[in-house]
């Protein structure tokens, strides 16, 4: 994100360092850490009210990047949009309405990065495209 101008530093070393996001926000579809870090469908549904409220407050957001299918599906649920019309796939772009986009990425988990299902260039490409769609290109 730093390389693309979306943060003030490349790496955060502590909660009180000077890293700040620029024109970006990070959120979670599930607000707690479930067992084995794998949320169940009921946990995703119960937490969705928080994501729905957060997205409703962020009226100026033009692009949402979903890191993984859980985030993708939770975003659609929060926006009351049908999943069958917005199928998850890495780097797929979904027009949500006349002003907002959803872009999918594989989750940047250790499993996905170690197996190279998601590489740094793949992730950078998705974030760069999101920045461009948001009108933030340098």
CATH number of the domain within which 115 lies: 3.40.470.10
The pLDDT score that the predictor gives to residue 124 is: 95
pLDDT at 118 over 80: yes
Would residue 71 count as lying in a domain? yes
Would residue 129 count as lying in a domain? yes
Burial of 128 (0-12, 13-18, 19+ CB in 10 A): middle
Mean pLDDT of 29-35: 85
Would residue 60 count as lying in a domain? yes
Domains contained in the chain, number? 1
pLDDT at 43 over 70: yes
Would residue 78 count as lying in a domain? yes
Closest to 65 in 3D by CA, of 138, 135, 133: 133
pLDDT at 96 over 80: yes
The pLDDT score that the predictor gives to residue 107 is: 95
Range of the domain at 68: 35-133
Mean pLDDT of 79-90: 96
The pLDDT score that the predictor gives to residue 64 is: 95
The pLDDT score that the predictor gives to residue 104 is: 97
Cα 53 to Cα 78: distance, rounded to the nearest angstrom = 8
DSSP character for 127? H
DSSP codes, 27-62: --SSSS--GGG---HHHHHHHHHHHHHHHHH-TT--
Would residue 126 count as lying in a domain? yes
pLDDT at 38 over 90: no
Would residue 106 count as lying in a domain? yes
Cα 92 to Cα 1: distance, rounded to the nearest angstrom = 19
* Cα–chain center distance at 33: 17
Would residue 123 count as lying in a domain? yes
Q: Which of 16-25, 66-75, 82-91, 123-132 has the lowest mean pLDDT?
A: 16-25
What would the pLDDT profile of 125-136 be if each residue is shown by its tens digit? 999 999 999 988
For strand 101-105 and strand 63-67, is the pairing parallel, antiparallel, or unpaired?
Answer: parallel
Would residue 17 count as lying in a domain? no
């Amino acid at each position: 994100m730093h390389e693309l101008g979306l943060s003030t530093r490349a790496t955060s070393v502590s909660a009180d360092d000077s890293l700040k996001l620029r024109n970006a926000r990070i959120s979670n579809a599930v607000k707690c850490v479930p067992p084995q870090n794998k949320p169940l469908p009921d946990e995703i549904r119960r937490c969705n009210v928080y994501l729905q409220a957060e997205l409703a407050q962020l009226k100026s957001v033009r692009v949402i990047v979903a890191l993984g299918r859980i985030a993708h599906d939770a975003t659609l649920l929060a926006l009351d949009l049908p999943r069958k019309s917005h199928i998850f796939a890495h780097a797929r772009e979904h027009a949500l309405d006349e002003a907002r986009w959803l872009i999918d990425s594989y989750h940047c988990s250790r499993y996905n990065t170690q197996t190279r299902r998601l590489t740094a260039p793949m992730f950078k490409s998705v974030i760069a495209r999101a920045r461009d769609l948001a009108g933030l290109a340098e």
